[in-house]
Amino acid sequence: MASLGLLNAGIMHEIQNPLNFILNFSGMSAELLQELEEWKDAVVQKLSENEWDNMDSIASLLGQNIKKIEEHANRLHSIVKGILGYSRGQQQEKGLVKLNEMLSQYIRFAHHTMRVNAKGFNVKIVENFDENIHDIMAHPGDLSRVFLNITSNAFFAVWERWKQAGPDYHPQLTILTRLFDEQKVSIVVEDNGIGIPKKVKANMFEPFFTTKSEGQGTGLGLYISRKIIEEGHNGHIEVESEPMVYTRFIITIPIK
């Protein structure tokens, strides 16, 4: 684990350099776009209505693209910062997290990733979020990695069953959130995939334990996820499963 920490630090430093360029150039591009917006007002009289509409549309699209680049680059920067801190034994600062929005975003991201790698595969996603849950205090980078890991595993499980099952099988992932006593929240991620045998369930949170083939998993995802929930958030994570029926991850964390 110490060697992995050093390796992580080295890799993250290599990622940080091009990431800084992305952030810097996206900022410069935003400034140039602002100059373009100011300049186009001066030449509007010289343009036809069609030319003006085209120019306005292009400027709008550029602005949206730059905003997305900055948004995802900042998210990547947060992940790099978190991994570097983890490698050095540092604790990431907590902040306000919009739990339901974060969950919805990472479900979509994991789903898109699965569909890219599994041609022809699709799954029904059911979201049942408690609207009484607003901001909670959490480590945003760490918590997002937990959600991404667990939802990715769920999509992998339904994909594996889909490859074996007949046309009557309908892949589904259900995710819900609940607020308890204004003190804690519960997040449930349930899939109707291949399930987890008892022997696997007994070892699934151990480091480097995986049932996936080489190149598909490291065996660290659930191990790190449990540490993030239990040590980083004073929460609890448990698993219920029946092979070829369902798997249910239940995460409970305090709000404050």
Q: How large is the greatest C-alpha to C-alpha distance in the chain, in angstroms?
A: 75
Tokens in use for 201?
């369930």
Q: How many residues does the chain have?
A: 256
CA distances, 121 to each of 16, 86, 172 (Å): 34, 35, 12
Rounded to two decimals, what is the model's pTM?
A: 0.65
One domain for residues 67 and 109: no
Looking at 87, 111, 140, the residue that finishes a domain is: 87
Looking at 87, 116, 143, the residue that finishes a domain is: 87
Q: 24 is in which domain, residue-wise?
A: 2-87
One domain for residues 58 and 117: no
Q: Per-residue pLDDT averaged across 25-33, rounded?
A: 79
CA distance 47 to 251: 58
One domain for residues 160 and 195: yes
Question: How high is the mean pLDDT of the chain?
Answer: 80
For 72, other C-beta atoms within 10 Å of its C-beta total 12
**What is the three-class DSSP state of 84?**
helix
One domain for residues 78 and 144: no
CA distance 64 to 28: 15
Q: Per-residue pLDDT averaged across 99-124, rounded?
A: 83
- Helices and strands per DSSP (H, E), number in the chain: 6, 7
For 186, other C-beta atoms within 10 Å of its C-beta total 17
Total count of domains within the chain: 2
pLDDT for residue 55 is more than 80: no
pLDDT at 217: 57
Give 121's contacts (C-beta < 8 A, 6+ positions apart): 114, 115, 159, 162, 171
pLDDT for residue 255 is more than 80: yes
Contact status, residue 9 vs residue 80, Cβ threshold 8 Å: no
pLDDT at 173: 95
CA distance 254 to 7: 33
| Residues 126-185 pLDDT 10s | 999 999 998 898 888 788 889 988 998 899 899 989 988 888 899 999 999 999 888 899
Q: Which CATH number characterizes residue 123's domain?
A: 3.30.565.10
